[in-house]
Amino acid sequence: MLVLQHIRDHKEQLVTALKKRNLDAEPLLNKVSDLDEKRRAIQTEMDGKLAQLNSISREIGMLFKSGKPQEANALKEQTTQIKEDSKKLGEELNEVVSDLDQALYLIPNIPNELVPAGNSEEDNEEVIREGDIPELNEGALPHWELAKKYDIIDFELGVKITGAGFPVYKGKGARLQRALISYFLDKNTEAGYREMQVPHLVNATSGFGTGQLPDKEGQMYHITADDLYLIPTAEVPVTNILRDTILPLKDLPVCYTGYTPCFRREAGSYGSDVRGLNRLHQFDKVEIVRVEEPSNSYKALDGMVAHVQNILRELELPYRILRLCGGDLGFTSALTYDFEVFSTAQDKWLEISSVSNFETYQANRLKLRYKDKNGKTQLAHTLNGSSLALPRVLAGILENYQTKDGILVPKVLIPYTGFELID
């Protein structure tokens, strides 16, 4: 959420900056300004009523002490009306504050100056491409056919148990999945991230804190009986660990990692792009989250990108990094890098990670602050990244490592799987 004072002071600049998202933000910002002025006017009137009430109360006390009860009681009648007026103003203020919060929730984050202009993923900027694309044998299969051939992932069984998008991993497929999770967590903890196990359901406050609500409400599974949401990513519970917190400067950066299953409705997703592991309703992901002093957050973002690069190099998968354009940038992000693995059998790139800096946008919603070197309370910067999302990484491994004898296991994973070949 944007800082209200920043909107007051820089409204015209914000309108210009948000055009990079292809958004005409002027009506929204004007609404916020109008509600803010109304809120301040009501608050000023309430403060005046309170001052008047305090003044009359002191006068009543003096009148009673002076032996003038009739005059004192007459003034007491005035206080009754002032209290009624103050109550009405308080109710009006609460309504305006609620409307103001809802309007602020609808304004996305300001894109960083490095974000390229563009309308969609076609306009994303390729930053780097690395790794050799393997030449497969004639008759190479996509991962959903390989999963069936070697009986390692059963999509039809998942449909029987739950529905489409909920696969069942079997035998060596399940062990490879577990190996990836352990490997990712080990890489992250070795890099200084503290492992956390968190709930897989969150309340609405947590969803609003990281920006999934109200922006992605339709994509989240909602348990209405308890008003809880299945998490779409570990980012939500892990970042909310520090909601309503003021950190001492010496505790920054805070670096967390966590593994969770993730749940996404993916409403309206149909077609060949969602076959197999390409898009699921339930999938596993290992996440990294950082809380940084603002002056260090972009250096930290570069470090997170390099960390994910190193993992993909060790897996020996061909990948590329994209800097997302304004039209494809996530609602809460100021700058995002997407990682994509090349699927040789599908002949296309598959997104497997997003690494983002949210600057103060999430922190303002979360009330996540720190004390600077002068002891002043400031909003922190939050960052997160997939390190990594498993389904498309697994798809890339199955397709790029297939041979006529079976599917080889990347060397770095063999100590985790205990086998070298799926056959």
Per residue, what are the HEC states of 269-296? CCCHHHCCCCCCCEEEEEEEEEEECHHH
Q: How many domains does the chain contain in total? A: 2
End position of a domain, from candidates 80, 105, 130: 105
Q: Is residue 110 part of a domain?
A: no
Do 220 and 304 belong together in one domain?
A: yes
Position 57 pLDDT exceeds 70 = yes
| Pair 13, 101 in one domain | yes
Residue 113 lies in a domain: no
Whole-number pLDDT of residue 267: 59
Quick: pLDDT tens for 219-242: 999 999 999 999 999 999 999 999
Is 22 annotated as ligand-binding? no
Model confidence at 150, pLDDT cuts 50, 70, 90, reads very high
Q: Is 37 annotated as a binding residue?
A: no
What is the domain extent for residue 20? 4-105
Q: Are residues 169 and 236 in the same domain?
A: yes
**Same-domain status, 163 and 287:** yes
C-beta separation of 407 from 401 below 8 A: yes
Q: What is the pLDDT of residues 158-201, one digit of tens each?
A: 999 999 999 999 999 999 999 999 999 999 999 999 999 999 99
Q: Is the domain of 30 the same as that of 142?
A: no
| 268, pLDDT greater than 80 | no
When pLDDT is cut at 50, 70 and 90, the band that residue 71 belongs to is: confident
Give me the mean pLDDT over the 310-325 stretch. Answer: 97
Q: Is 265 flagged in the annotation as binding?
A: yes
- For residue 119, give Cα distances in angstroms to 3, 83, 112, 325, 350: 26, 54, 16, 7, 20
Q: Which of 299, 302, 341 is nearest to 130 (CA)?
A: 341
**Do the annotations mark residue 121 as ligand-binding?**
no
Give a yes or no: residue 115 inside a domain. Answer: no
Distance from C-alpha of 168 to C-alpha of 171, rounded to nearest angstrom: 10
pLDDT band at 269 (very low <50, low <70, confident <90, very high): low
**pLDDT at residue 63, as a whole number:** 81
353 appears as a binding residue in the annotation:
yes
Q: What is the pLDDT of residues 385-402, one digit of tens each?
A: 999 999 999 999 999 999
H or E element that contains 88:
helix 69-105
Q: Among 73, 105, 137, where does a domain finish?
A: 105
pLDDT > 90? residue 272: no
| pLDDT computed for residue 75 by the predictor | 79
Task: Say whether 233 counts as a known binding-site residue.
Answer: yes
| pLDDT computed for residue 196 by the predictor | 98
* CA quadruple 278, 282, 286, 292: dihedral sign: positive
H/E element, 40: helix 26-65
Q: Are residues 44 and 184 in the same domain?
A: no
Is 293 annotated to bind ligand? Answer: no
Q: Is 292 annotated as a binding residue?
A: no
Q: Taking residues 369-384, what's their average pLDDT? A: 97
DSSP assignment of 60-73: HHHHHHTT-HHHHH
Confidence at residue 273, expressed as pLDDT on a 0 to 100 scale: 65
Nearest to 354 by CA among 121, 145, 53: 121
In the predicted structure, residue 271 carries a pLDDT above the cut 60 = no
- Considering the chain, what is the average pLDDT of its residues? 94
| 205 plus 253 within the same structural domain | yes
- Do 64 and 168 lie in one domain? The reply is no
Mean pLDDT of 70-79: 80
Residue 114, in any domain of the structure = no
Whether residue 203 is annotated as binding a ligand: the answer is: no
**Using 50, 70 and 90 to split pLDDT, how confident is the model at 256?**
very high
Same domain, 214 and 273: yes
pLDDT tops 60 at residue 101 = yes
Residue 352 counted as an annotated binding residue: yes
